[in-house]
Amino acid sequence: MLPDQDGQNAGGGGGGVSEDPSVSLFREYLRLKTVHPEPDYDAALGFLGRISEELGLPMKKVEVCPGRVVTILTWTGTNPALKSILLNSHTDVVPVYQEHWKYDAFAAVKDAEGNIYGRGSQDMKSVTIQYIEAIRRLKAAGKTFPRTIHLMFVPDEEVGGQKGMEVFIKHPEFHKLNIGFALDEGLANPTEAFTVFYGERNPWWVTVRCPGSPGHGSRFVENTAAEKLRRVINLFLDFRERERQRLNTSECFTLGDVTTVNMTMVRGGVAYNVIPAEMDVSFDIRIPPTVNLQEFEEQIKAWCKEAGDDVTYEFAQKGMNQNTTSTEDSDPWWRAFSSTCKSLNMTLKKEIFPAATDSRFIRAAGLPAIGFSPMNRTPILLHDHNEFISESVFLKGIHIYETLIPALASVPTLTTEA
Ligand SMILES: CSCC[C@H](NC(C)=O)C(=O)O
Ligand SMILES: [Zn+2]
Ligand SMILES: [Zn+2]
C-alpha cells in the first residue's frame, strides 16, 4: 500500500477506513514549518487560534521578544483560587537532513504500518495535540475540575529558550497563571515502560583558551598553544572515559546519572607554517543534579592550571539550578500522577533528563515539573532522521492524558492553599 499523504482516508493498514480526526489534526500540525532557523511561528499562532475557538477556551498571547509569542489557552476550574495545572509544549522543531529521510519531513506521511513520519512527531508536536485532544474530549463529556488548566505553547525551546520560556517565567503574566504543577516533554521508551523525568542535568558549555608562544612552523618552539591544548583535551577526555566506565559498569545508572563531556569545537591557527598564538577548545558538559557544582568548577580550574601557563576558561552556558521534582508518595502531585498511571497498568521508569528542556526554567522557579511524553514501544528518535510515532501509540497517549489531567486538576486543596 502507498503511504498516505493527504490524511483524508488514511492507509495505516486499513485502506478506506476514515482517519481519526485527532490523527488528522496531528498530521496537519506536523506540516507547519516551525523549523529552525526561521520557524513559521505565524502558522502555529493561526493554528492555535483555531483550536482556541474549537475548544471554546480563551487564548492569551504574550510577545516575550520581537516575533516570539507565548500562547496560553485556559480552562478555568470550579475553584480558580487553587493552584493551576500547566500543560506545556514548545512549537518549534529542529532542522532536518532531508536527504536522509524516507519521506518529506514536513509531509506527515503515514505508512502502511500506521507510522507517522515528520519532524516533531516525537519532539513534541504529538504531545501538543494529545493535550488538545484530551481536553476536547473532557469538555465534550461535560467534565469540570476544581483546578484551572493552562495549555501553554512556547517558542524557541530548541535554541535554548532564551527568547521563550526563560523570559516568560519572569513575566508578570506567568505569575498570574498561579501554577502548582507542570507537565512538559520527556522521551520515548522502546520497551513496554514509560519514562518520566523528575530533573535534568545542568548544561555547561565551556571554552578553554590556550595561549602560547608563536613562531616558525619549522622549529621546536617551547610552550606552544598546541601543547597546552593537548593537555586540556587529555584531562577533559580522561574524565569523560571514567564517567563512561561508571555508566557502563553500574546497572542502575542511566545517562542522566553521570557527567558527560564532549569536545565539540576546536579553533586556532592561521597558516601551515605559523605556530599559533592561541588555540581554543570547547566542551559540552552535562552534570547530574547530585554533583557539587562548586567542586566541579574547581576541577576545571585545576585542569586548566595543570595544562600550562595562562590557560583560562569561560562559559557560554552554565546551568546552576539543581532543583528536582518530588517523586515521593507523600507528594500529592506525584501521587496523583503515579497512581493514575498505575490504574492504567503503565510501568514508569523515573530518570534524570540527559539534556535540557524548558522544564529547567519551571523547576528553577520552584515549581514541580514532570517530563513525560507518553510513547512506549517507540525508538528514541528526537532530533534524528526519520522521526516517527505510530498512530496507535499516539492515540493511546490521548487516552492517558484524558485520565491524567482530571486526576491532576482534582488534587485536593493543599495545606499551603487552605
Ligand atoms: C542548553 S540549551 C539547549 C537545549 C537542548 N535541548 C534539547 C532537548 O536538545 C540541549 O540540551 O542541548
Ligand atoms: Zn523538545
Ligand atoms: Zn528537541
Using the atom order of ligand 1, give the atom closest to the CA of residue 284.
12
* Partners of 350 in beta bridges: 196
State if pTM tops 0.80. yes
Cis peptide before 3 (omega within 30 of 0): no
Using the atom order of ligand 1, give the atom closest to the CA of residue 205.
1
* CB-count burial class (<10 Å; 0-12, 13-18, 19+) for 103: middle
CB distance 355 to ligand 1 below 6 Å: yes
Cα(193)–Cα(205) distance, rounded to whole angstroms?
32
> Which amino acid appears at position 5 of this protein?
Q
Nearest to 205 by CA among 382, 352, 355: 355
Catalytic residue among 19, 133, 157, 200: 157
Cα(186)–Cα(164) distance, rounded to whole angstroms?
18
Catalytic residue among 19, 92, 123, 257: 92
Kindly state the DSSP code that residue 256 receives in the 8-state scheme: G
Q: Is residue 92 flagged as an active site residue?
A: yes
Give the pLDDT of residue 2. 57
Residue 95 phi/psi, 5° resolution?
Answer: -65, 170
Cα(410)–Cα(413) distance, rounded to whole angstroms?
9
DSSP 87-106: EEEE--B----GGG-SS-TT
ipTM entry: 0.98
Distance 155 CA to ligand 1 centre (A): 14
Give the pLDDT of residue 120. 98
Cα(131)–Cα(137) distance, rounded to whole angstroms?
10
- Please check whether residue 389 is in contact with residue 115, taking contact to mean a CB–CB distance below 8 angstroms: yes
- Please check whether residue 395 is in contact with residue 20, taking contact to mean a CB–CB distance below 8 angstroms: yes
Ligand nearest to the CA of 89: 2
Cα(85)–Cα(245) distance, rounded to whole angstroms?
40
Distance 159 CA to ligand 1 centre (A): 7
Using the atom order of ligand 1, give the atom closest to the CA of residue 319.
1
Distance 355 CA to ligand 3 centre (A): 9
Q: Is residue 157 flagged as an active site residue?
A: yes
Nearest to 145 by CA among 407, 398, 397: 407
* CB-count burial class (<10 Å; 0-12, 13-18, 19+) for 206: buried
Nearest-CA residue for ligand 1 atom 5 is 356
Q: What is the dihedral of CA 406, 411, 172, 124, to 10 degrees?
A: -40
Nearest to 267 by CA among 210, 203, 308: 210
> Which amino acid appears at position 410 of this protein?
S
Cα(211)–Cα(409) distance, rounded to whole angstroms?
57
CB distance 357 to ligand 1 below 6 Å: yes
Cα(211)–Cα(312) distance, rounded to whole angstroms?
9
Cα(154)–Cα(360) distance, rounded to whole angstroms?
14
CB distance 255 to ligand 1 below 6 Å: no
- Please check whether residue 225 is in contact with residue 277, taking contact to mean a CB–CB distance below 8 angstroms: yes
Ligand 1 probe mutation, 89, 93, 127, 158, most atoms within 8 A of CB: 158
Give the pLDDT of residue 16. 56
Task: Work out whether the CA dihedral 356, 185, 376, 338 comes out positive or negative.
Answer: positive
Give the pLDDT of residue 276. 98
Distance 94 CA to ligand 3 centre (A): 6
Give the pLDDT of residue 418. 74
CA 94 distance to own-chain centroid: 11
Reduce the DSSP state of residue 116 to 3 states and report it: strand
Number of CB atoms found within 10 A of residue 251's CB: 5
Using the atom order of ligand 1, give the atom closest to the CA of residue 157.
4
Using the atom order of ligand 1, give the atom closest to the CA of residue 355.
11
Give the pLDDT of residue 17. 73
Using the atom order of ligand 1, give the atom closest to the CA of residue 383.
9
Cα(168)–Cα(88) distance, rounded to whole angstroms?
13
Nearest-CA residue for ligand 1 atom 2 is 160
CB distance 356 to ligand 1 below 6 Å: yes
Ligand nearest to the CA of 382: 3
Q: Which residue has the cell 534524528?
A: 384
Q: Which residue has the cell 499523504?
A: 5
Q: Residue-wise pLDDT tens for the chain (418 aa)? A: 556 665 544 444 444 579 999 999 999 999 999 999 999 999 999 999 999 999 999 999 999 999 999 999 999 999 999 999 999 999 999 999 999 999 999 999 999 999 999 999 999 999 999 999 999 999 999 999 999 999 999 999 999 999 999 999 999 999 999 999 999 999 999 999 999 999 999 999 999 999 999 999 999 999 999 999 999 999 999 999 999 999 999 999 999 999 999 999 999 999 999 999 999 999 999 999 999 999 999 999 999 999 999 999 999 999 999 999 999 999 999 999 999 999 999 999 999 999 999 999 999 999 999 999 999 999 999 999 999 999 999 999 999 999 999 999 999 999 999 7
Give the pLDDT of residue 1. 52
DSSP 278-319: EEEEEEEEEE-TTS-HHHHHHHHHHHHHHH-TT-EEEEEEE-
Regarding beta strands 149-154 and 84-90, do their DSSP bridges make them parallel or antiparallel, or are they unpaired?
parallel
Distance 354 CA to ligand 1 centre (A): 9
CB distance 317 to ligand 1 below 6 Å: yes
Query: No. of H helices and E strands in the chain?
Result: 10, 16
Ligand 1 probe mutation, 157, 184, 283, 380, most atoms within 8 A of CB: 157
What is the end-to-end Cα distance of the chain in Å, rounded? 59
Nearest-CA residue for ligand 1 atom 3 is 160
Cα(188)–Cα(54) distance, rounded to whole angstroms?
29
